Amino acid sequence: MGAETHCPYCALQCAMTLTATDAASAPSTTEVASPPVTVAGRDFPTNRGGLCKKGWTSAELLASPSRLTAPLVRGSDGSLRETTWEAALDLVADRLRGIRSEHGADAVGVFGGGGLTNEKAYLLGKFARLALGTSRIDYNGRYCMSSAAAAGNRAFGVDRGLPFPLADLDDGTTILLLGTNVAETMPPFIGHLAGAQAAGGLIVVDPRRTATARLTDDGQGLHVQPAPGTDLMLLLGLAHVVIAERLADEDYVAARTTGFAALRRSVAQWWPERVQSVTGVPAATIRAIARRLAAGGRTFILTGRGVEQHVDGTDTATAAINLALLLGLPGRPGSGYGTLTGQGNGQGGREHGQKCDQLPGYRKITDPAARAHVARVWGVDAADIPGPGLPAIELLGSLGRPDGVRALLVHGSNLVVSSPNVADVRRGIERLELLVVCDFVLSETAALADVVLPVLQWAEEEGTMTNLEGRVIRRRRALAPPADARDELWILHELARRLGSTARFDTDPEAVFEELRLASEGGIADYSGIDYALLDSGAEAYWPFPRGGDGTPRLFAERFHHDDGLARLVAVTPRGGARPVPSPDELTLITGRLLEHYQSGAQTRRVPELLDAQPEARAAIHPATAARLGIADDEPVEVANDRGTVRCRARLTTDIRTDAVFLPFHYGDEQAANLLTSDAADPISSMPEFKSNLVRVTRLVEA
């Protein structure tokens, strides 16, 4: 029998069984090694045995020739050279000690990732605060879930992506998908949309006619294509119709929410004809959507990065929550609101202390009671835990500055591809005195490092992940790692020891999880009732799961998590200047994902089958726009603005609006879409603006 585990990629965490092959015990001598395990889909409530292309090919990387198998240190000639673990760790510890004693603890920064196991995310937060003594820790989830998380905390007092099991969608009769392309990002998900499709109730809001939007063809729903960056106005218009036509669930609003009067006043000015003039969505369509949502069936509203990755992302997600609350959906059996977490452990990654303002259990780092609890578990004084640090953009903006971060440790993130305004991040990295990257391939970020530490891949490690439903699951080891790759738990242990920390840094994942349980106990994300034995028994484990109690598959049935038990309707209005207005020679750049690649592409671009299918970035442009710009299909183009230039080929398609251009963000160097994105951030969540940046597209005239 093989190892029962889950996919290494997205937050659907599809279940799979890995079975060792002969190649597992016989190291390959050929350039393209055979995978040491076979992958088979396994029945599980999220994927029901299905896997996407990425999942099926996930074992390819285990024996890939691009796998790192020894520590690398940059030599005096500027090249990376293999060294021993002793030498690499001694060097890192020496340099960290020197920088810290000269410039203070906050001169050292840590950048984590939403793909790390819960155990690694937890230990990384503890390592930063106790072994390094720095407040400067944040992670790439800041680019992913921060605005929806802030909106959920504001409205409900808690942030769990889906506050109900995914299978609840199966019985949905109306599902509104806002800015999410699940048919490409997590294909097995669409099995859960079939009921709403059959009922003609699938409504997809996306400026592109994506694979998900095409599910509404043949009368199975509706696709609307608002102008990029106008999602907030569309949602205000929907709320306007719900209130104006008395479609709201008035009993629910009265009994379970506060803030209705202010919300009613704020949406009064967003009547459908006015919303049409801004979004381009016909007023009649806005009214029809509102009426369908309020028709009394089993209704869900789900948001994704398309509406969240904006400088008004928190307010936009809040407007979606307001709409759901007006309709009485959250907590109603068979209905609900949720946000679809993207990264594999995007949910758990934001609960255990990787965020600059949080401690384990989703506790606020500024809360004296939270600090005291975590300090007790860690065996230190609360005063020894540094206060809040800087969110990702500010942390990266400080790199190499006199009062900024001079040494950076990166775990599970390819930040010179995935960060906004990435040329500026690259310049910051060049100013650093020390860059240490833990990875299993030489990503674009690792290639710039002074020290690269090779780590395990998913099939080689034990641990837990928390999927998009808030369900905690086991990751299980299927094969031994290469001799010179190491678990990050061991790396943190060894570095902490060399730095003279007396805090406990276990190397056994189960021991770390046991400590995580204690640290999370009584917090919002309470894992104290979960242990490995429970997970190994196959029991479902949704947080909050208090010690001696049960898990919580469905939140909000009786109360929300604010002290008074009520949800907050929050009046939000568009901020002047939040939405860039294109001049006649500009298009709005939309960035996003392709079926074949995951996040920065550091992994999937190294899987031959996936790379062959999508080898390079292509700029998707409407044929009418291309004709105006004198661009033919497949021709080289430049997509540029004041921040940078992307050179790639054009792909002409009627799936995009005439005022927009789409670039996938999976590629590096001169094809990095984030050369063009802005590091202007949402003032509430620090979410950068990834989805509405202005660019000019021109035919590339080759010299």
Degrees (nearest 5) of the Cα angle 41, 609, 467? 40
- Residue 603's Cβ-side half-sphere holds a number of Cα atoms within 13 Å equal to 24
Query: In the β-sheet with 3-6, what is the strand arrangement from edge to edge?
Result: 3-6, 15-20, 37-41
Bridging pattern class, strands 678-681 and 688-689: antiparallel
CB of 182 to ligand SF4, least distance (A): 9
Q: Find the shortest distance in angstroms from Cβ 603 to ligand SF4.
A: 10
The residue range among 113-121, 128-136, 185-193, 386-394 that interacts with ligand SF4, by the rule CB under 6 A, is 185-193
Output the smallest distance, CB 56 to ligand SF4, in A: 7
Listed ranges 9-17, 77-85, 276-284, 653-661: which one lies at the site for ligand SF4 (CB under 6 A): 9-17
The residue among 42 and 406 lying less far from ligand SF4, judged by its C-beta, is 42
Classified as helix, coil or strand, 690 is: coil
Query: Could you tell me which stretch among 44-52, 104-112, 147-155, 236-244 binds ligand SF4 (CB under 6 A)?
Result: 44-52
Written as six digits, the tokens of 6 are 């889950």
Q: Does 18 bind ligand SF4 (CB under 6 A)?
A: no
- The nearest distance, CB 51 to ligand SF4, in angstroms, is 4
Instruction: Kindly state the smallest distance separating residue 50's Cβ from ligand SF4, in Å.
Output: 8
Q: Give the residue with the Cβ less far from ligand SF4, 115 or 688.
A: 115
Q: 460 vs 596, which CB is nearer to ligand SF4?
A: 596
Told to check if 12 binds ligand SF4 by CB under 6 A, we report: yes
- Does 466 participate in binding ligand SF4 (rule CB under 6 A)? no
- Site membership for ligand SF4, residue 10 (CB under 6 A): yes
Nearest to 301 by CA among 369, 445, 422, 204: 204
Q: What is the rounded distance in angstroms from the CA atom of residue 377 to the CA atom of residue 199?
A: 51
What distance in Å separates the CA atoms of residue 153 and residue 168, rounded to the nearest whole number? 22
Minimum CB separation of residue 214 from ligand SF4 in Å reads: 18
Q: How many residues touch ligand SF4 (CB under 6 A)?
A: 14
Select the residue interacting with ligand SF4 from 3, 4, 5, 9 (CB under 6 A).
Answer: 9
- The window from 8-16, 269-277, 401-409, 469-477 that contacts ligand SF4 (CB under 6 A) reads 8-16
Q: Which residue has the tokens 């008395």?
A: 246
- CB-based contacts of 562, cutoff 8 Å, min separation 6: 156, 157, 568
User: Which one, 189 or 362, has the nearer CB to ligand SF4?
Assistant: 189
| Sites for ligand SF4 among residues 340-379 (CB under 6 A) | none
Q: How many CB atoms lie within 10 A of CB 387?
A: 12
- DSSP string covering 542-597: BSP--TTS---SS--SS--SSTTSPEEP----PPTTSS----TT-EEEEEE--TT-
User: Considering beta carbons, is residue 186 or 518 the nearer one to ligand SF4?
Assistant: 186
Classify residue 92 by burial, with Cβ atoms within 10 Å: 0-12, 13-18, 19+.
buried
Q: Report in angstroms how near the CB of residue 124 gets to ligand SF4 at its nearest.
A: 23
Asked if residue 7 binds ligand SF4 (CB under 6 A), the reply is yes
- Output 185 or 520, the one with its CB closest to ligand SF4: 185
Q: Which is nearer to ligand SF4, 459 or 587 (CB)?
A: 459
Give residue 670's identity as a one-letter amino acid code: E
Cα–Cα distance measured from residue 218 to residue 446, given in angstroms and rounded to the nearest whole number: 47
- Residue closer to ligand SF4 by CB (options 43, 251) is 43
Q: Which of 55/360 has CB closer to ligand SF4?
A: 55
> Among residues 240 and 606, whose Cβ is nearest to ligand SF4?
606
* Residue 457 interacting with ligand SF4 (CB under 6 A): no
Q: Which is nearer to ligand SF4, 5 or 443 (CB)?
A: 5
Interface with ligand SF4 includes 648 (CB under 6 A)?
A: no
What residue type is 637 in one-letter code?
A: V
Which residue, 44 or 111, is less far from ligand SF4 as judged by CB? 44
Residue whose entry in the numeric block shows the structure tokens 């960056």: 229
> Given candidates 36, 187, 237, 463, which one binds ligand SF4 under the rule CB under 6 A?
187
47 binds ligand SF4 (CB under 6 A): yes
Query: What does the angle CA 80 – CA 85 – CA 91 come to, to the nearest 5 degrees?
Result: 70
Comparing CB distances to ligand SF4, the nearer of 54 and 371 is 54
Nearest approach in angstroms of CB 58 to ligand SF4 is 7
Provide, rounded to whole angstroms, the least separation between the CB of residue 471 and ligand SF4: 13
Q: Where are the alpha helices (DSSP H) in 297-452?
A: 305-308, 313-326, 368-378, 392-397, 415-418, 422-431
Bridge partners of residue 6, in order along the sequence: 15
The residues, any chain, with a CB within 8 Å of residue 36's CB and separated by 6 or more, are 20, 21, 23, 24, 59, 62, 63, 479
Tell me: does residue 13 bind ligand SF4 (CB under 6 A): yes
CB of 469 to ligand SF4, least distance (A): 13
Q: Which is nearer to ligand SF4, 48 or 696 (CB)?
A: 48
Q: Which is nearer to ligand SF4, 51 or 437 (CB)?
A: 51
Give the closest residue to 558 by CA, choosing from 209, 256, 339, 285. Answer: 256
Type of residue found at 288: A
Amino acid found at 193: L
Smallest gap from Cβ 17 to ligand SF4, in A, equals 13
B/e letters for 366-376, b = 16+ CB within 10 Å, e = fewer, are: eeeebbebbbe
The radius of gyration computed from the CA coordinates of the chain, to the nearest angstrom, equals 24
Least Å distance between CB 34 and ligand SF4?
Answer: 21
The site map against ligand SF4 for 138-177 (x = CB under 6 A) is ----------------------------------------
Listed ranges 181-189, 247-255, 273-281, 680-688: which one lies at the site for ligand SF4 (CB under 6 A): 181-189
| Residue 197 within binding range of ligand SF4, rule CB under 6 A | no
**Residue 205, class by beta-carbon neighbours within 10 Å (0-12 exposed, 13-18 middle, 19+ buried)?**
buried
Judged by CB, which is closer to ligand SF4: 14, or 436?
14
Answer yes or no: are the C-beta atoms of 516 and 535 closer than 8 Å. Answer: no
Q: How many Å apart are CA 424 and CA 643, to the nearest integer?
A: 9
Binds ligand SF4 (CB under 6 A): choice among 52, 149, 302, 660: 52
Among 35, 36, 55, 152, binds ligand SF4 (CB under 6 A): 55
Q: How far is the CB of 665 from ligand SF4 (least distance, A)?
A: 16
Residues 6+ apart with CB under 8 A from 679: 393, 397, 419, 420, 421, 424, 688, 689
Minimum distance from residue 189 beta carbon to ligand SF4 (Å): 7
Residue 164 corresponds to which tokens in the numbers above? 């109900």
Closer to ligand SF4 by CB, 58 or 135: give it.
58
The answer to whether 605 and 671 have CB atoms below 8 angstroms apart is no
| By the rule CB under 6 A, 260 interacts with ligand SF4 | no
Least Å from the CB of residue 54 to ligand SF4: 4
Contact by Cβ (8 Å): 39, 62 = no
Give residues with Cβ within 8 angstroms of 422, minimum separation 6: 416, 644, 672, 674, 675, 677
We find the least distance from the C-beta atom of residue 181 to ligand SF4, in angstroms, to be 12
Binding site for ligand SF4 (CB under 6 A): 7, 9-10, 12-14, 47, 51-52, 54-55, 186-188
